[in-house]
């Protein structure tokens, strides 16, 4: 029978490009996510669920999702997804946090320019049949000081783009900002009150948290530089709108450009009655490109999750977003964990991961998670994902430690996974990525050096070396119709103990494996490393 294709259930309207990215290796199904009964009927067969904001993915839906591996939210917010329940069930939740950053940045720039030149108010006079050229006197951006509050993705994009206007200085406030990145962009990091006192224009790019809510209160606004213009295209509720309106009326603040409000939908903000303000109904992400990109980004995440890979945009995976370099090692880490645990053949108590060489400078915690996935894939009944593997380890009292060492031998970087049982017995597997294509290789097993591609179906035999040993294994595999594709062997320098790894072209029956083990007086395991 042909292998069942994973089912991707799309519950909200998404672009055609999203479907095209998903490709032909999955079965795409559609359901109206707002139709509760229809969603509950469709979700049990879904391996992945794609939603926007209209579909509510709550505990009831997740409880009914027998096969679900990932919920992909085509957008930034996750208010409609029960992330806590998904995490408990080992279901990955991913959004598209960078899909709208260009649109949001451009909208903030548009608000700044429109406010500086009073474009909407001037536009209205013409539409009312009046020519009031002398009434409007704008201000230039050239030669001014720009203050950016929040120096994440969008704040940095804004700094790059506003610099082209020939501004005098760019200031930024963000307690978590990277000083090196700020210096690279020519941005001075300063305290918030210093920024308010020095900036001619202030643009806000903060998330809404208990710490940032109403951050721009009457007190902070009172420290604003005379004639300042404030832009908020980030989140509503960061600014006390009444206090800002009062400051504009008093003449301290020249104007404001706002796209977001404390409560939405909003039609009665005190900012709406002022000619000095430019206001829009939360349009920051409302571009064709941002909407299309959100679907495309989350489609990529779904395919990664279905392939068993760590999804960079997952919100409920510990360890944070892995770097590109670390991501390339994740699959090898899983394979090394699988090998080490399979050969040890005892319940793990401790797992040690050592990254050596260039990779040691990265955040290697995700490699520990990936190694655990390989270890537990042989010993637990449930599907092991990046989401639930930490819980599985905790439930089984398995401790994990990651270590970084700057020097690696023979390779630019190596990764070693050691599985230790409660009685102190242990087994290690070390690997590396080789060449431009970063081929996954096994370079050490049980501290015995060898060299073999980490792929395919493999037999690992450990025995006391003696004449004809390899021939005995080969003849028995041949008799069973199994061809040997590759082999690697290592013998201890101080003893006759040997490790033999055979990559074969088919499934080896347990009876054949036991026959080989008996002939060599060996311990033998078979491991499928896949691709």
Q: Which residues are catalytic?
A: 235, 264, 282
C-alpha atoms less than 13 angstroms from C-alpha of 440 in its C-beta half-sphere: 19
- Residue 495 sits at the vertex; the CA angle it makes with 471 and 486, to the nearest 5 degrees, is 35
- Sheet of 439-445: strand order equals 399-405, 348-357, 413-421, 426-434, 439-445, 448-453
Q: Which of 308, 530, 343 is nearest to 440 (CA)?
A: 530
C-alpha atoms less than 13 angstroms from C-alpha of 35 in its C-beta half-sphere: 12
Residues 251/223, Cβ–Cβ less than 8 Å = no
Residues 165/180, Cβ–Cβ less than 8 Å = no
Sign of CA dihedral 378, 379, 382, 387: negative
Instruction: Tokens for 363, please give them.
Output: 């955040």
The dihedral over CA atoms of 156, 232, 238, 182, expressed in degrees to the nearest 10, equals 20
Sign of CA dihedral 224, 225, 228, 234: negative
Q: Which of left, alpha, beta for 524 (phi over 0: left; psi -120 to 50: alpha)?
A: beta
Q: Which of 282, 244, 146, 127 is nearest to 201 (CA)?
A: 146
C-beta neighbour count of 41 within 10 angstroms: 12
Instruction: Tokens for 413, please give them.
Output: 């970087």
Looking at residue 298, what DSSP letter applies? H
Q: Give the integer Cα–Cα distance in Å for 430 and 518.
A: 27
Extended beta strands in 251-367, E state = 253-258, 277-279, 348-357
């Amino acid at each position: 029978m042909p292998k069942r294709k994973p089912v991707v259930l799309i519950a909200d309207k998404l672009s055609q490009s999203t479907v095209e990215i998903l490709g032909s290796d999955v079965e795409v199904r559609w359901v109206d996510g707002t139709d509760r009964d229809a969603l509950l009927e469709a979700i049990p067969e879904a391996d992945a669920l794609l939603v926007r904001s209209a579909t509510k993915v709550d505990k009831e839906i997740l409880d009914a999702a027998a096969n679900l591996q990932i919920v992909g939210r085509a957008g930034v917010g996750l208010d409609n997804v029960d992330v806590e329940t998904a995490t408990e069930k080992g279901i990955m939740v991913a959004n598209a946090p960078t899909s709208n950053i260009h649109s949001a940045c451009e909208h903030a720039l548009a608000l700044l320019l429109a406010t500086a030149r009073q474009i909407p108010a001037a536009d209205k006079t013409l539409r009312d049949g009046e020519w009031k050229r002398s009434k409007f006197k704008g201000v230039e951006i050239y030669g001014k000081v720009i203050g950016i509050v929040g120096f994440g993705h969008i704040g940095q994009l804004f700094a790059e783009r506003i610099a082209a206007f020939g501004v005098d200085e760019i200031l930024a406030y963000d307690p978590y900002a990277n000083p090196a990145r700020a210096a690279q962009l020519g941005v001075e990091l300063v305290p918030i009150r210093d920024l308010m006192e020095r900036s001619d224009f202030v643009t806000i790019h903060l998330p809404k948290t208990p710490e940032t809510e109403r951050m721009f209160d009457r007190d902070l606004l009172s420290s604003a530089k005379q004639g300042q213009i404030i832009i908020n295209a980030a989140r509503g509720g960061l600014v006390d709108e009444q206090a800002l309106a009062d400051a504009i009326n008093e003449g301290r603040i020249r104007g404001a450009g706002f796209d977001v409000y404390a409560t939405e939908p909003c039609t009665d903000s005190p900012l709406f009655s002022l000619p000095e303000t430019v206001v829009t109904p939360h349009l920051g992400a409302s571009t064709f490109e941002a909407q299309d990109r959100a679907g495309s980004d989350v489609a990529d995440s779904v395919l990664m999750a279905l392939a068993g890979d760590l999804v960079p945009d997952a919100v409920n995976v510990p360890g944070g977003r892995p770097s590109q370099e670390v991501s390339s090692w994740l699959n090898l880490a899983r394979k090394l964990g699988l090998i080490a645990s399979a050969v040890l053949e005892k319940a793990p108590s401790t797992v040690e991961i050592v990254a050596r060489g260039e990779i040691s400078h990265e955040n290697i915690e995700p490699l520990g998670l990936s190694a655990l996935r390989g270890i537990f894939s042989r010993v637990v009944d449930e599907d092991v994902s990046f989401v639930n593997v930490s819980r599985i380890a905790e439930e089984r009292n398995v401790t994990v430690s990651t270590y970084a060492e700057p020097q690696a031998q023979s390779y630019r970087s190596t990764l070693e996974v050691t599985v230790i049982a409660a009685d102190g017995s242990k087994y290690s597997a070390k690997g590396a990525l080789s060449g431009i294509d970063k081929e996954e290789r096994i370079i050490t097993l049980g501290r015995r050096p060898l060299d073999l591609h980490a792929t395919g179906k493999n037999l690992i035999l450990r025995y006391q070396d003696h004449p004809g040993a390899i021939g005995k294994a080969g003849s028995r595999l041949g008799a069973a119709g199994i061809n040997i594709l590759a082999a690697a062997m290592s013998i201890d320098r101080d003893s006759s103990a040997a490790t033999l790894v055979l990559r074969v072209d088919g499934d080896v029956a347990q009876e054949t494996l036991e026959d080989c083990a008996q002939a060599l007086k060996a311990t033998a395991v078979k491991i499928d490393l896949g691709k």
